[in-house]
Amino acid sequence: MVSIVIPAFNCTNYIGQSLQSCFSQTYTDFEVIVVDDCSDEDIYSAIKGFDVKYVRNNKNIGPAGSRNIGIQLSKGDYISFIDSDDLMNRYKLEKSVKAFESDPEIGLVCGNYQILIDRVRLCPPFYRNPIKINHDMLMNQNFVASGSTTVKRDVLEDIGNFNEEYWIGEDYDLWIRIAEKYKVCYLHDILYYYSIVKNGNSLTQRDDIQKNHIKNIDKIKFNSKKRVYDAKHSK
């Protein structure tokens, strides 16, 4: 089974479409977990009619903490991530599970995506050509689009979940830690649609969050270099 984890914060205008994209998957063995990060809006009413597990945080803890709560509540062999304003391609789970089944050394599956502007304009695929992703590549640049990802539960149990210290870059930190020990499989197929809405609530568009982005990325890379160095010299 695949567990789809959706952190939600003030997204009542979009979460219904996001959930509909989940329940339109060609792969049918899945569950959906919505973690309401203490929204001001009524998320519970917005998701009525969908067969989901719903939990509300008693305070705003950010995307890393919310995803971790979703992971803890999940039962799937794989964990798939999507944000509450983004949309899954209907083949995302099917293609991701097939990739895992093709190679037991794969710890993370990700893929191509398209940007959806103001819910009306769909941009061309982000990556024009197929790419190969490994730890060295990720140390230069984050090639993993968060909403395209599915991770093995066993991998998270091995390396740990999202680092709640980071409110931005928390996904990059997890992909880096996975790539230190496991294969990353990139699929050139479109796996999701990344929504950009003017004056939206996305953390990546908030100035108070963005100011920590570069600092977080530098710290994530430094910590990864240290872990890799220590692992090599402890043998």
211: confidence class by pLDDT, cuts 50, 70, 90: confident
* pLDDT of 235 over the 70 cut: no
Which residues contact residue 117 at a Cβ distance below 8 angstroms, ignoring those fewer than 6 apart? Answer: 123, 196
By the 10 Å C-beta count (0-12 exposed, 13-18 middle, 19+ buried), 54 is classed as middle
- Give residue 197's pLDDT: 86
pLDDT digits (tens, 9 = 90+) for 47-72: 999 999 999 999 999 999 999 999 99
Q: In whole angstroms, give the CA distance from residue 12 to residue 65.
A: 20
Span 147-187, pLDDT tens digits: 999 999 999 999 999 999 999 999 999 999 999 999 999 99
pLDDT at residue 202 greater than cutoff 90: no
pLDDT tens string 69-107:
999 999 999 999 999 999 999 999 999 999 999 999 999
Read off the pLDDT of each residue in 32-58 and give the average, rounded to a whole number. Answer: 97
Q: Is the pLDDT of residue 110 over 90?
A: yes
Q: Is the dihedral of CA 117, 167, 80, 35 positive or negative?
A: negative
Cα separation, 43 vs 85, in Å, equals 12
Q: Is the pLDDT of residue 139 over 60?
A: yes
DSSP state, residue 211: T
Rounded CA separation 25/191 (Å): 11
Please state the pTM of the whole predicted model: 0.94
